[in-house]
Amino acid sequence: MVAKNDGTLVIVILRLTAIDPMALSFIGSNWSGHCILPDAGVAIAVPTAAPVDWLPDGKCVLMVVVGGAFTQLIADDNLLYTVGNNAHGQLGRGHVGNSDPDNRVPRPVTGFGLERITQIAAGDSHCAAVTEGGKLFLWGLNASGQCGTGVASGHVITASRCDSGALADADVRVVYVACGGIHTVALASDGGVIAFGGNTFGQLGTGSNDDTPTPERLSCAALVGAGIVGCAAGGNFTQLVSDDGRVYAVGLNVCGQLGTGDMTSVNTPTAIDAAHFGGAPVAAVACGYCHTLAITRGEGRVFCWGRGTHGATGLGHTGDAATPRPVVGALADARVVRMCAGNSHSCALTEDGRVFVFGSGVGITVAGNHGTPQVLQEGALAGTTVRALGAGCRGTHAAFLAGPPPTAPGFEAPLAYALQKKPAPKVPKHAAAAAAVVAAAAAQSSGGGAASAGSGQGTKRKRGDQSDDDDSGAHGEGSNDL
């Protein structure tokens, strides 16, 4: 989620439309069959197209999210599919274990009732989904309370609504969620930050280092009036973005992954000096296991910091960095619209549909350049335009949605929705702005086209239609939100 230069809040999601179906491909490790390819256990050295015979006829994948060794996909039948490792119930199929060969075939996750899913997230071994109505569902490993059940133990093997603690109030609507190694961070429609799960290194930002299995709203002084509109969760740390483009970090910092200038871990959110970003406001952040990426608004420049093992920070070396620094190589001059990070690798998507990769994972290796970003144009991505990508903080694989180069000018990768500002009583500026972020992150028409977002109101539109019939400001692909 980011804020445009004109102050309008938008949410950027990895979701396309059925009007323009894309091909799904993977690169990296595949030991649990999470890349949907037949040779489970064989690393994928170049982007390889995944079969889609598991989808109903005529359907296509719209969104892809990568976890530790599993993958989540949303198709235009409005179902969430999971595939891969199920050692902790992260596939949401009602059982735990990997003895079932069907784990290597994407199958729908049930338990959402009539709720439409608008955003999904995956951690090391747990998952989360946000619905159009602002409800939060979680499943998978819960040993640290990362599923928000109020108890830190066992597994949650089916999608279960999280409605305890700070989420017990029916008026609290979740608009976005991020899953880290063993913790979860959610954003509420009123601008609040809610966190729960493992907290050994203070990654929840509660001011303590105690695990918190019940959702807790952050109340630290640093976030008062900040208007948090974006978040990302790493292995044991968290990054937050405010509506004015400030970045706040909290948690483990042994590799400089917080970006605060030292390697001291903290348990309350601490602001990163904006001067490290050249004074530009930050649009979005992404966390690997021990490193962070950020995109600035307008120019779409990428900054990285944290653990540089295998060159995951794209700084041209393998050393750690305790402050944000601009990436090097060809990516330094490109306008990036989306990025993601894995265990020791990173991916960045430019406005012209090219993917840059840097770092290393099983099968994702930038050989001999010590972390200088390089364009990935091999295999299934050759001659295509990438529209969406995914990598997870503990994962060693990456996913792409790509298609033929566009025939019309003005292409941009993310699908963005400007969100209608809700009438509200007089409150501080940032709180009012954050309240504009509503749970209907992306309403979809029955044909899969983009629709207006906001308080569930507005006229449904076809992709690219920017008429002024309502004031929700919904944008199809091609909007300049970063």
* pLDDT tens, N- to C-terminus, the chain (482 residues): 433 334 333 444 444 444 356 899 999 999 999 999 988 778 898 999 999 999 998 898 999 999 999 999 999 898 999 999 999 999 999 999 999 999 999 999 999 998 999 999 999 999 999 999 999 999 999 999 999 999 999 999 999 999 999 999 999 999 999 999 999 999 999 889 999 999 999 999 999 999 999 999 999 999 988 899 999 999 999 999 999 999 999 999 999 999 999 999 999 999 999 999 999 999 999 999 999 999 999 999 999 999 998 899 999 999 999 999 999 999 999 999 999 999 999 999 999 999 999 998 645 555 444 689 999 988 999 999 999 999 988 888 999 999 876 543 333 333 222 222 222 333 334 433 333 333 333 322 222 222 222 222 222 323 233 333 332 222 222 222 34
Sheet containing strand 302-306, edge to edge, reads 282-287, 291-296, 302-306, 321-326
Q: CB burial class (10 A; 0-12, 13-18, 19+) of residue 368?
A: exposed
Residue of 246, 281, 300 whose CA lies nearest to 413: 300
pLDDT for residue 21? 63
Q: Residue 24's pLDDT is what?
A: 95
Residue 429, classed as helix, strand or coil, is helix
Rounded Cα distance between 25 and 399, Å, is 6
The SS3 of residue 400 is: strand
C-alpha angle 112-116-119 in degrees, rounded to nearest 5: 95
Which pLDDT score is estimated for 190?
A: 87
Residue 367's contacts (CB-CB under 8 Å, 6 or more residues apart) are none
CB–CB of 255/306 below 8 Å? Answer: yes
Strand 9-13: give its sheet, edge to edge: 2-3, 9-13, 415-418
Q: How far is CA 395 from the centre of its chain?
A: 13
pLDDT recorded at residue 233 = 98
The span from the CA of 255 to the CA of 403, in Å, is 37
- Cα-to-chain-centroid distance, residue 434: 19
| Residue type, position 439, single letter | A
Tokens of 196: 């729960």
Angle at 256 between CA 254 and CA 261, to 5 degrees: 125
User: CA–CA distance from 120 to each of 64, 67, 101, 149, 155 (Å)?
Assistant: 9, 11, 24, 18, 19
- Of how many residues is the chain composed? 482
Q: What is the pLDDT of residue 191?
A: 86
Amino acid at 427: V
Q: What's the token pair of residue 400?
A: 């792409």
CB 156 within 8 A of CB 139: yes
Instruction: Quote the Cα angle for 173-178-180, to 5°.
Output: 140
Greatest C-alpha distance within the chain: 59
Q: Which stretch of DSSP H or E encloses residue 417?
A: strand 415-418
pLDDT at position 154 is 96
pTM score above 0.95: no
How far apart are alpha carbons 388 and 391 in whole angstroms? 11
List, in sequence order, every residue forming a beta bridge with 286; answer none if it has no partner: 293
pLDDT at position 20 = 52
CATH 3.30.43.10 fits 2-435, yes or no: no
Grouping H, G, I as helix, E, B as strand and the rest as coil, residue 399 is: strand
The helix (H) or strand (E) run that includes residue 430 is: helix 429-435
Residue 337: per-residue pLDDT: 94
Q: Which of 115, 76, 111 is nearest to 92 (CA)?
A: 111
